[in-house]
Structure 1
Amino acid sequence: AFSQVVPTPSLFLHSYLHLFNISSNLSTQSVPFQGSSTLMTAVISLTVFMVGLTGNTLAIYVVLRYAKMKTVTNIYILNLAVADELYIIGLPFLTTQNVLSYWPFGSFLCRVVMTADSMNQFTSIFCLTVMSIDRYLAVVHPIRSTKWRHPRVAKVVSTAVWAVSFVVVLPVVIFSDVQDTFNSCNMNWPEPKNVWSTAFILYTATVGFFGPLLIICLCYLLIVIKMKSSGARAGFTKRRRSERKVTRMVVVIVVVFVLCWLPFFIINIVNLVVIIPESSATAGIYFFAVILSYANSCANPVLYGFLSDNFRQSFRKVLCVRSVRCKANGVDDGDPSAPRTEKTTAHDCIRLSTRNQAYHDPQSSQVVCVSVCLN
């Protein structure tokens, strides 16, 4: 049964399996995932790892590389990307444990992986909470919050977020180890184990998900109230439109986070009350919930690119794929640090690169040049 346990070592063992106790009276003969199923989980896990590692590395680089990207919101996004990347890095270790059905890396690495994984999950939700509070200050108190909404303050707050996350996961630092029962990397709770396990599930769900989510919802409720009241009195200024774009991006990131993590926490809470029967179906459901939490770390860089013009331009610049739109009044080459006041002709555009391809846009009567890095 799944009641506070992982029934066999051949289940996909991800770092949050420490939320469950392993029961010593379970039969080790029942193996829900075998053969092709184990291979499938390994392929999915490694795909998520590669996509997440690439996307978050790119997000980290562009924030550090371009001065224009060092806004308050982007500093928090930088910390979120670092947390996502460190979270993703633990996936190959846990996939190896799943394939081999035991933990081959020793006690020290078990503790390191478990601690890093837990800490960065907490850091993610705390970063989203801070970003939501920042959006509240920017929209509801735009003048009074100016002295607090500064990159230096954002860096101090980010440091505090990491420190708090480490304190919160001290139980994982202390009790994570290689278990004798299945030789798996998990939590070794003292007696009474059931009490410790239940307390930790509730503690993790409250501090690491539902508590911050309540604060986030309150922030956006106040933002909605403010925007409705101000919208009725005044038109949209350029600053207000910009704030709305940033707020929309943060809201979408938060919503995706909740959708990706909610199934996992629901399973944990249900698991405290109801004995979940052991079967391939329930094992598959648990695997889906686990891999969905990792998929969230892959989704975030994609969201940055779709929802932020600056991130999209920076990504194009780093990937050496840039779209240059030549107008009578200026040029947009996708470089977030480039000036926007140059007068550029179609001839100048074509001379930007010997590899450029130029074509005429009949709808806008503009010459569009696409420069592609081929090296």
Structure 2
Amino acid sequence: MKVVAGSTPIRLMSKSYKIGSDICLNIMRLFLLLVSLVAGFVAIVYPIKAHILCGRRKIIIAVLLIWTIAVGCGSPTAFFNTVFSPDPESEIKFCILLFPQMSHVTIFRYTEFSIFYFVPVIIQVILYTVIGRKLYASTEELHTRFQMRPDSRYRTERTSDTIKARKDVVKMLAASVLVYIICYAPNQIVLFYNTFSPSQFHATWSFMVFSYVVGYINSAANPVLYCIFSQNFRQNFKKYMCCICLGKSKPYRKVLFDSSESRGISRKVVSTRTTMVRE
């Protein structure tokens, strides 16, 4: 006896097509997100070693490894996917997953939960916590350093802006993890509910559409978080939108100067900054 295990992911535009070739793309997108997170972690925590740890060769190896894992994770769908027709006289057919035993369904679902939700959340929490502590510690040291010596008003304002920007980055990291947890939570809640509840929740088409739309909102939410927590992002976004609307752009030149704010804060932080000055 075979058991119907449902189908993921779905195409929202057609109810008759629920499992497509984009399953590997969705898995690959998740792993690329984790690799990008690790790359950002290395760039912030180990900036001196970033060019060694994130070299071109290692990036190529990581991409090939990601695709290999994505194909492996998507293989159960290829092996157990079957075309199902609810009515022999109807032309509408569905792609569903059929497993030989009910225990296989449970194993499959909790494996998906572990690989695609639990492990990514744990990795994000750990890496973002380390990044946040790194930025917060350097911010406190920067604040203490400039409180101990008199300086010009211009330098004090610049230091205050730097401290505020770093605190906003920490808030943005926490918000991004929270958004990720919420956006991918609906299916996980249903999984645990069906496991421990005597009554089963049968997902409707509307619920499946809702769960996947909310999942994609996780990617769309990133620019919104940048706009909320980053003043620099808001200013540059407004500047470029004005340039696009007006069709004009003014020349800029780069000015390099030594930034004493970042000296002594961390041996692994570059001591020069680049700013844009309007001519």
TM range (shorter): 0.5 to 0.7
1:283–1:177 Cα change, 3 Å: closer
Preserved CA contact (<8 Å) 2:4 2:98: no
How far did residue 214 of structure 1 move? Answer: 0.8
Q: Could you tell me how far apart the structure 2 residues matched to 1:241 and 1:148 are?
A: 30
Q: Could you tell me how far apart the structure 2 residues matched to 1:300 and 1:228 are?
A: 22
Residue identity in the other structure for 1:312: F
Residue identity in the other structure for 1:164: I
Q: Could you tell me how far apart the structure 2 residues matched to 1:164 and 1:266 are?
A: 26
1:199–1:314 Cα change, 3 Å: farther
Is the aligned partner of 1:18 residue 2:18? no
Structure 2: state its 5+ residue gaps.
88-92, 144-158, 254-274
What percent identity do the matched residue pairs reach?
A: 19
Root-mean-square deviation (Å): 4.3
Is the aligned partner of 1:321 residue 2:229? no
How far did residue 199 of structure 1 move? Answer: 1.0
What does 1:54-133 align with in structure 2 at a 5 Å threshold?
91=11, 94-97=12-15, 103=16, 113=20, 115-116=21-22, 118-133=23-38
Is the aligned partner of 1:186 residue 2:96? yes
How far did residue 212 of structure 1 move? Answer: 1.7
Preserved CA contact (<8 Å) 1:129 1:213: no
Q: Could you tell me how far apart the structure 2 residues matched to 1:267 and 1:141 are?
A: 40
How far did residue 174 of structure 1 move? Answer: 1.8
What does 1:176-325 align with in structure 2 at a 5 Å threshold?
176-181=81-86, 183-189=93-99, 191-192=100-101, 194-235=102-143, 252-274=175-197, 275-276=199-200, 287-300=209-222, 302-303=224-225, 309=233, 312=237, 316=241, 320-321=244-245
1:278–1:208 Cα change, 3 Å: closer
Q: Could you tell me how far apart the structure 2 residues matched to 1:151 and 1:244 are?
A: 32
User: Residue 67 of structure 1 aligns with which residue?
Assistant: none
Q: Could you tell me how far apart the structure 1 residues matched to 2:59 and 2:171 are?
A: 20
| 1:20-55 Cα distance to aligned partner (Å, 9 max, x none) | xxxxxxxxxxxxxxxxxxxxxxxxxxxxxxxxxxxx
Match of 1:166 among 71, 76, 82: 71
Q: Could you tell me how far apart the structure 2 residues matched to 1:180 and 1:299 are?
A: 38
Match of 2:44 among 106, 126, 139: 139
Structure scoring higher RCO (CA < 8 A, sep ≥ 6) equals 1
Q: Could you tell me how far apart the structure 1 residues matched to 2:165 and 2:59 are?
A: 19
User: Residue 367 of structure 1 aligns with which residue?
Assistant: none
How far did residue 241 of structure 1 move? Answer: 8.3
User: Secondary structure at the residue paired with 1:146?
Assistant: helix
Residue identity in the other structure for 2:71: F
User: Residue 272 of structure 2 aligns with which residue?
Assistant: none
How far did residue 204 of structure 1 move? Answer: 0.4
Q: Could you tell me how far apart the structure 2 residues matched to 1:243 and 1:157 are?
A: 30
1:340–1:315 Cα change, 3 Å: closer
Aligned residue pairs, count: 232
Provide the TM-score with structure 2 as the length reference.
0.63
Preserved CA contact (<8 Å) 1:325 1:331: no
1:195–1:129 Cα change, 3 Å: same
Q: Could you tell me how far apart the structure 1 residues matched to 2:210 and 2:32 are?
A: 25
